[in-house]
Structure 1
Amino acid sequence: MLNLQMLATITCLALGLTSHVIGAVVSGNTEGVATDKAILHVNGIDINVGTIPVSESRSEGLINAAPGVRSPRPETTLTKRTVNNCCSYGCSRTCIDGLSTSPDPPASADCAALKSALEALAASELVGAAFPCNLPNQALCPNFSVSPGYERAYWYGTCLVGFINLNPTGGADESYCHYLMAGIITSSYDECVTTQVKTGGYCLQYLSPGFVYALELRHV
């Protein structure tokens, strides 16, 4: 029979191994589920970009975390063929814990580098317009589109920023702008991570059916 000391040692080793495996899965989760992961060399650094599926429960959680909002109404098959330009819509920021895969906030230096890279990426894609052309109410050049139930994520080091299409299945695709993605890094980092000591934050747009999205900033 195993004595108590041997049993305790085996248990501790097993728990340590389990913890290591879980940590590896969590830290590699974003890269593991990204359907089109790529590395972009922008502004002197390599940033990761990928499209990530978002579960219905997580989408509902983001929507319900903001006071006074309801789940979006179902879209018609006609709107499924449209791509809504969301660059001209702002969103209300919410500071919460629980978005990050780590109890620690993203590093300020990583977020600053990611912000600069996204701004440079946006500037490089402008055609016939002065930078920044894609500020709110000047939506001339959305940079990417996202289908319902997916997130377009960019991450560098510990810092991730992502645009999530919260429309229900069958709803409209949504387009957005790299420049505004960079903006949410600064605003959410300052307000949520620095001021309120949160590990993450997001902004939720809920103005009308078909224009329902969230942007998140979190530790990757």
Structure 2
Amino acid sequence: MDKRAAYAGVVSVKCLFGLLFLALGACSALPEKTVRPTQYDFGPGITTTTAATASAVPAASLPSLALADVEAPGMSEGGTAILYRLGYADARQLRSYAQGRWSVPPAQLVGQRLRDVLGQRRAVVGAGDSAALARTVGPAPRLLRLELQEFTQLFQSPTASTGLVRLRATLVESTPLGDSLLAQRTFNAQRPAPSADAPGGVRALAAATDALAQELDGWLETVGR
């Protein structure tokens, strides 16, 4: 009887360890929890305080402007990756952050910020509304076409980087014979990143876009006279 009891005890222990290993194996086979990338944008945009300051100059003080959607031929359509380049290694290679994404494609973010800034001193309408305005209130406003050529975080070293934005602006006027080119210019803006990561790149690119928007606004005032 003692031998049978001892044997039964050994079998029970073996069964217990077997069940334990099966449980551990089942746990390891479970899929890992998916980590969603953090989404970023340019922030809330023009605040009430900023708008109040800008209201010192009437919005109608400058000619109205038709703004086309920003094109980004060098970027994947609908892509929201936050891109960066290692200038100290191979600046020709585009890389992206695994755990950081824009909330919408960069061209949309840039277009909305430009619309906000340019709209502080003039009426800004969509390109599709330009023809309708011409039929109702007179000549169509001049059309501004924009092409986003660069929108990356550029690393000069492993710890130092800047947000780089390059934009080509083309101002045209509609005539009975078609669009007439008035002016064209490529704008470049760079701002330092406060940290060598995706959040730092986002802040630098937002600041560079704001600086470019102000420069574009001044240029339009000059060529729009």
TM-score (norm 2): 0.28
Instruction: Return the structure number with greater relative CO, CA threshold 8 A, min gap 6.
Output: 1
TM-score (norm 1): 0.29
Larger Cα-atom Rg:
2
The structure whose residues are more often strand, as a share, is: 2
